[in-house]
Amino acid sequence: MAITDWPEGERPRERLLELGAQALSDAELLAIFLRTGVKGRSAVDLARELLREGDGLAGLLDREGRELASLHGLGPAKASQLLAALELGRRYLAARLRRDTAFTSPEQTRQYLSLRLRGRPFEVFACLFLDNRHRLIAFEELFSGTIDGASVHPREVVRRCLAHNAAAVILAHNHPSGVAEPSRADRQITRRLQQALELIDVRVLDHLVVGEGEPVSFAERGLI
């Protein structure tokens, strides 16, 4: 049965407008994007199938564009819409943490960095540049690819700190494998950056590794 044949109070779009998006299941929200199903299955049925195949919403939306577009019932147009909506959500949440936001708790920092770095298909090394009251000056992605001692250049981090007149930084990078446990290379990079930034009186407050679960904080581990 097509969704248009359902009772009005059970249709995802009508329920969203009446009750709010939070009242809908993952499948119902996804069905609104799909708009139509395939022969013999409604958009909600198709959404449930995609969620099963993708191992849940996060597993589905963490896929790269071409892989997402190859799934039955999606295709390039719908996959593009989903990825665009996901990016809009990220940008909306990031915009709420505007310049002068004070990073005063590890949990706040975790949420922000998870938003910016989780689900990326390659490693990204980034910095939060802060003033002397730990208010955000800027967030920048400085390096990408395989993050190791050869690819993260302390002189570039120093240069960006000076450009922003930063008093402190929070370092961050992601592990695309999903395992957030710091590696030996991660520890070595952190020490090198601490040493370089000490020369210009910039404090390294933390280094967070973002994976699938809770980001790992070097400061909480006693590694900084």
Rounded CA separation 81/73 (Å):
13
* Total Cβ atoms within 10 A of residue 166: 22
Low-confidence ranges of the chain (pLDDT < 70): 1-10, 38, 40, 93-101, 104, 146-150
Q: What is the pLDDT of residue 31?
A: 83
Q: What is the pLDDT of residue 150?
A: 46
Q: What is the pLDDT of residue 148?
A: 53
Domain ranges within the chain, ordered by starting residue: 3-94, 98-221
Instruction: Out of 1.10.600.10, 1.20.59.10, 2.40.50.140, 3.40.140.10, select the CATH number for domain 98-221.
Output: 3.40.140.10
Tokens of 54: 């993708």
pLDDT digit string, tens, across residues 95-108: 666 555 677 677 77
Q: 111 near 162, Cβ under 8 Å?
A: no
Task: For helices 26-34 and 75-96, give the axis angle rounded to 10 degrees.
Answer: 120
